[in-house]
A and B are shown apart, each in its own frame.
Chain A
């Protein structure tokens, strides 16, 4: 089967800064891959590039069979990006936000309520304006959007941040069930221990590139 993500020497600019200076990355279907690295290594940019948000100036990049250098837009409906700030409308309630996101992506509106319940957003929380919710609750709403849309590729940027212990367990379960349902997950996290437990393999980034795998050292 064709890889879900395939980057070869991909170079991407943010303004004039080369955020990605030649990334080689392959992610097979059904994998859970963890991106780790210091701040500024380019992890967020790789995720955004997979979502088709970042233009590439050279190299090859293919996500879900779509060549990103030719067409960045069509891939967006099929991936789900969970960023640092949720792309939520502050004045609308949780349910309204999820409903809008699902309908915009052409998804099934019936998935909205189950997703909210799964994330523990019940009753009053559903109709309160998102701007009034706590960070952890907003994360949950953003995750509910992801669950309800059920994209083929999940792109999670620091997903554990802001969640309490129960939330983190829930997230790990969500990742597992997404993979079981056929999705692929690429996540970036500083919490390597926690994330490595869920991830199938780890990729380290620095200076806008993927570090080659260290051969196992004999201690």
Chain B
């Protein structure tokens, strides 16, 4: 990512990424729809092509957000681009996270007749969504970029520190109640490895999609920063003009 952003958010690299993502996603969907329905879950088993990949992409997004926050906080590597990457990744992550929950819900409903199973992974993902929704809310409220970046970076790390604890606690909790679990739905026996391979393709597609979305979102952020910097120069000029008026009046 160059430091001087162009006035548009596309560029050679991202266009290629986008094309690859589109192709991979389309292939996944087509192949996924062609997967044979299973005995237990009927057509819904095909959600395996998107649900775990979405979850993976969400976790990837939050991990990148945390990493970018660390890079921003560490003085030696501090640069505005890390803050931009952090917010872009978090926003994309929140979207993927929400989609994970929706697909998980749709998957579970026909099998057990409820919209929400207190499945360990779904519950952890829901908490993760809440943590990063809070992160984004915090960003919206701060005003100047430096404070906002600092607070957000710390908030991201504090949230990420919670993730392993959330994971373990929810896991221990739900293993006691061997109730409905999405892990049970995942087809253990699949006829010719077709399920697994489509799922893997899905992972690739989601990763590419994530990369493409983050690239664009970071660019938007960079453009906004440039707008602000130019606005600042304008404000400085106006402020200095004030003092000239006073000088002129004093004479």
The answer on A and B forming one complex is yes
8 A Cβ contacts from A24-57 to B: 37-38, 41, 55
- Chain A: residues with Cβ within 8 Å of the partner, total of 20
Closest B residue to A209 using CB positions? B243
Closest A residue to B244 using CB positions? A207
Cβ of A59 to closest chain B Cβ, rounded Å = 12
Interface segment among A15-23, A160-168, A175-183: the answer is: A15-23
Q: With A16-B235, A38-B246 in contact, is A208–B144 under 8 Å at CB?
A: no
Instruction: Give every chain B residue within 8 A of A214 (Cβ-Cβ).
Output: 250
In the assembled complex, A174 has its CB within 8 A of some CB on chain B = no
Q: Are A211 and B246 in contact (CB under 8 A)?
A: yes
Closest B residue to A14 using CB positions? B144
Q: With A16-B228, A18-B232, A214-B250 in contact, is A208–B143 under 8 Å at CB?
A: no
Q: Are A207 and B143 in contact (CB under 8 A)?
A: no
Q: Provide the main secondary structure of the chain A interface.
A: strand
In the assembled complex, B242 has its CB within 8 A of some CB on chain A = yes
Cβ of B182 to closest chain A Cβ, rounded Å = 46
Q: Are A16 and B244 in contact (CB under 8 A)?
A: no
Q: Are A16 and B239 in contact (CB under 8 A)?
A: no
* A16 in complex: contacting residue of B232, B247, B250, CB < 8 Å: B232
Instruction: Give every chain A residue within 8 A of B236 (Cβ-Cβ).
Output: 11, 18, 21-22
* A21 in complex: contacting residue of B144, B240, B246, B247, CB < 8 Å: B240
- Chain B: residues with Cβ within 8 Å of the partner, total of 18
Cβ of A43 to closest chain B Cβ, rounded Å = 13
In the bound complex, CA of A211 to CA of B243 (Å)? 7
In the assembled complex, B37 has its CB within 8 A of some CB on chain A = no
In the assembled complex, B162 has its CB within 8 A of some CB on chain A = no
In the bound complex, CA of A22 to CA of B235 (Å)? 13
Closest B residue to A40 using CB positions? B242
Residue interface mask B201-240, A partner, CB < 8 A = 1? 0000000000000000000000000001001100110011
Q: Are A16 and B243 in contact (CB under 8 A)?
A: no
In the assembled complex, A13 has its CB within 8 A of some CB on chain B = yes
Instruction: Give every chain B residue within 8 A of A13 (Cβ-Cβ).
Output: 144, 232
Q: Are A206 and B247 in contact (CB under 8 A)?
A: yes
Cβ of B97 to closest chain A Cβ, rounded Å = 31
Closest B residue to A214 using CB positions? B250
Q: With A16-B143, A16-B231 in contact, is A211–B239 under 8 Å at CB?
A: no
Instruction: Give every chain A residue within 8 A of B190 (Cβ-Cβ).
Output: none
Residue interface mask B55-84, A partner, CB < 8 A = 1? 000000000000000000000000000000
In the bound complex, CA of A173 to CA of B178 (Å)? 79
Q: Are B246 and A15 in contact (CB under 8 A)?
A: no
Instruction: Give every chain A residue within 8 A of B240 (Cβ-Cβ).
Output: 21-22, 207-209
Q: Are A208 and B243 in contact (CB under 8 A)?
A: yes
Q: With A16-B144, A16-B228 in contact, is A21–B250 under 8 Å at CB?
A: no
* B246 in complex: contacting residue of A11, A18, A207, CB < 8 Å: A207
Closest A residue to B231 using CB positions? A16
Closest B residue to A205 using CB positions? B243
Cβ of B218 to closest chain A Cβ, rounded Å = 21
Instruction: Give every chain A residue within 8 A of B40 (Cβ-Cβ).
Output: none
Additional A-B contact list (12), CB under 8 Å, known A13-B232, A205-B243, A206-B242: A14-B144, A16-B228, A16-B231, A18-B232, A18-B235, A21-B236, A21-B240, A206-B243, A206-B245, A209-B243, A211-B243, A214-B250
Query: What residues of chain B have their CB less than 8 Å away from a CB belonging to chain A?
Result: 143-144, 146, 228, 231-232, 235-236, 239-247, 250
